[in-house]
């Protein structure tokens, strides 16, 4: 009996990223049927027959889920290339900040930029990720630090999906740094975030998550607790930048609130890892910032493995500490700098990244999952992690449509 569908992908080697006991979730079947933007069947054509309105011959190339970049800050005004040059000429970060640079410089440029200007530059950055097989991107605000600009950033983030074949997940990061207007009283800013911005973001459905930067140069655990409490009151998930520069027990705090993810975590105390396991929280590693800031403290990968905490990988694309618009480069960095295996890295940009964004229908090739797929002309999936700038998908499908 012939079954109908929209598209059949034939003669493909499938790295499904299912956790089925085989490396990369490799399947023995060689065809995928797609209908209404989802995977309808994964089948052996000698055993089953699906008739598609279209068919595509994969010529025995590797089919993988589209990649998911689960941590970016890609909407912002201006850039900080001049500061990069100044630091290499001997200026300190403090000196640069005193002359209006650093995060405050990006805040100033973002506030001054029109929505269209922000959108145009964000599309260019997102396009670089999409070219490398990314089909979902999380985009944080956090360079506005006032009601008007934060909302503008979140609206711009959503608009990216109107211009590129990509799913966008906006996150409100009001607690990125204390704005200059509140420098003398950061608690008042935290109250503003909790009482005014979070309710507005929730009411307008501009974001599904609230993020914080829990660090000595960011916000204290007590301040982050207030923000998490406000987020949960408005039915928003929480995420957290934690333990990047020191151990303030931010990860343990985030676990109390069942955070989707804790990100950076170079200084995470291994004793706090079981709390992440109990809260089903994803550990997101950001090797781009580690590399760019020339850090030396590595995240506790072995302990995360031992506790079966899912590990995701992301670009952290931002103007200051990780101006890297290449998921493939970041994947290689994760292996070289943090000793993750290629298989761990690929799970980190598919299944685990989907979990970090609460996207249960993405990150795998499986029946009922979204048909966000990429075809790669490689001999083995490890090649995508092993090489730098050697590969691009030879074909891509977003929600079942070739793009």
User: What CATH number should be reported for the domain holding residue 241?
Assistant: 3.20.20.140
Q: What is the CATH number of the domain that holds 18?
A: 2.30.40.10
By the 10 Å C-beta count (0-12 exposed, 13-18 middle, 19+ buried), 361 is classed as middle
Counting the structural domains of the chain, the total is 2
Both 217 and 132 in one domain: the answer is yes
For 34-66, letters b (16+ CB in 10 Å) and e give bbeebbbbbbeeeeeebebeeebebeebbbbbb
pLDDT at 250: 98
Placement of tokens 């700038």 in the chain: 389
Both 285 and 148 in one domain: the answer is yes
- Residue (of 115, 89, 87) closest to 102 by Cα position: 87
pTM of the model: 0.97
Is the CB of residue 96 less than 8 Å from the CB of residue 87? yes
Both 72 and 57 in one domain: the answer is no
Both 49 and 150 in one domain: the answer is no
pLDDT tens, N- to C-terminus, the chain (403 residues): 899 999 999 999 999 999 999 999 999 999 999 999 999 999 999 999 999 999 999 999 999 999 999 999 999 999 999 989 988 999 876 687 777 788 889 999 999 999 999 999 999 999 999 999 999 999 999 999 999 999 999 999 999 999 999 999 999 999 999 999 999 999 999 999 999 999 999 999 999 999 999 999 899 999 999 999 999 999 999 999 999 999 999 999 999 999 999 999 999 999 999 999 999 999 999 999 999 989 999 999 999 999 999 999 999 999 999 999 999 999 999 999 999 999 999 999 999 999 999 999 999 999 999 999 999 999 999 999 999 999 999 999 999 999 9
Both 107 and 154 in one domain: the answer is yes
Both 328 and 340 in one domain: the answer is yes
CA atoms within 13 A on the CB side of 325: 16
pLDDT at 94: 66
Both 242 and 369 in one domain: the answer is no
pLDDT at 21: 96
Both 22 and 134 in one domain: the answer is no
| HEC assignment per residue over the chain | CEEEEEEEEEEEEEECCCCCCCHHHECCCCEEEEECCEEEEEECCCCCEEEEEEEEEEEEEEEEECEEECCCCCCCCCCCHHHHHHHHCCCCHHHHHHCCCHHHHHHHHHHHCCHHHHHHHHHHHHHHHHHCCEEEEEEECCCCCCHHHHHHHHHHHHHHHHCCCCEEEEEEEEECCCCHHHCCCHHHHHHHHHHHHHHHHHHCCCCCEEEEEECCCCECHHHHHHHHHHHHHCCCEEEEEECCCCCCCHHHHHHHCCCCEEEECCCCCHHHHHHHHHHCCEEEECHHHHHHCCCCCCCCHHHHHHCCCCEEECCCCCCCCCCCCCHHHHHHHHHHHHCCCHHHHHHHCCHHHHHHCCCCCCCCCCCCCECCEEEECCCCCCHHHHCCCCCCCCEEEECCEEC
Q: How far apart are CA 369 and CA 375, in angstroms?
A: 17
Both 187 and 127 in one domain: the answer is yes
pLDDT at 93: 67
Both 341 and 382 in one domain: the answer is no
pLDDT at 221: 98
Backbone angles phi, psi at 145, to 5 degrees: 60, 15
For 130-158, letters b (16+ CB in 10 Å) and e give bbbbbbbbbbbbbbbbbeebbbbbbbbbe
Both 345 and 276 in one domain: the answer is yes
Both 280 and 369 in one domain: the answer is no
pLDDT at 225: 98
Question: What is the residue range of 46's domain?
Answer: 2-65+364-402
In order of 16, 265, 359, 379, the CA distances from 261 in angstroms are: 23, 10, 13, 33
């Amino acid at each position: 009996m012939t079954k109908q569908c929209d598209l059949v992908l034939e003669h493909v080697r499938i790295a499904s990223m299912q956790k089925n006991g085989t490396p990369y979730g490799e399947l023995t079947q060689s065809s995928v049927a797609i209908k209404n933007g989802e995977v309808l069947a994964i089948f052996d054509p000698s055993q089953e027959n699906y008739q598609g309105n279209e068919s595509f011959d994969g010529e025995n190339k590797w089919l993988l889920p589209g990649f998911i970049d689960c941590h970016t800050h890609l909407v912002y005004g201006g850039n900080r290339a001049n500061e990069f040059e100044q630091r290499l000429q001997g200026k300190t970060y403090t000196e640069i900040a005193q002359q209006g640079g650093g995060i405050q410089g990006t805040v100033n440029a973002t506030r001054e930029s029109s929505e269209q200007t922000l959108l145009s530059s964000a599309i260019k950055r997102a396009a670089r990720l999409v070219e490398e097989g990314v089909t979902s991107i999380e985009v944080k605000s956090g360079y506005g630090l006032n009601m008007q600009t934060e909302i503008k950033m979140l609206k711009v983030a959503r608009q990216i999906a109107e211009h590129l074949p990509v799913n966008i997940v906006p996150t409100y990061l009001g607690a990125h740094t204390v704005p200059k207007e509140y420098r003398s009283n950061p608690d008042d800013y935290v109250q503003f975030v909790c009482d005014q911005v979070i309710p507005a973001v929730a009411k307008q459905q501009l974001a599904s998550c609230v993020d914080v930067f829990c660090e000595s140069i960011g916000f204290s655990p007590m301040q982050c607790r207030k923000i998490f409490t406000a987020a949960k009151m408005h039915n928003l998930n929480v995420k957290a930048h934690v333990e990047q520069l020191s151990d303030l027990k931010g990860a343990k705090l985030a676990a109390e609130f069942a955070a989707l993810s804790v990100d950076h975590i170079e200084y995470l105390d291994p004793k706090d890892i079981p709390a992440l396991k109990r809260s089903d929280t994803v550990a997101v590693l950001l090797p781009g910032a580690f590399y760019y800031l020339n850090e030396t403290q590595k995240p506790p990968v072995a302990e995360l493995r031992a506790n079966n905490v899912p590990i995701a990988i992301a670009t952290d694309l931002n103007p200051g500490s990780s101006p890297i618009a290449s998921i493939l480069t970041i994947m290689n960095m994760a292996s070289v700098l943090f000793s993750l295996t290629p298989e761990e890295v690929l799970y980190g940009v598919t299944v685990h990244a989907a979990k970090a964004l609460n996207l249960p229908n993405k990150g795998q090739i499986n029946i009922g999952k979204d048909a966000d797929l990429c075809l790669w002309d490689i001999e083995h999936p490890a090649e995508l992690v092993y090489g730098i700038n050697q590969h691009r998908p030879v074909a891509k499908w977003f929600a079942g449509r070739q793009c």
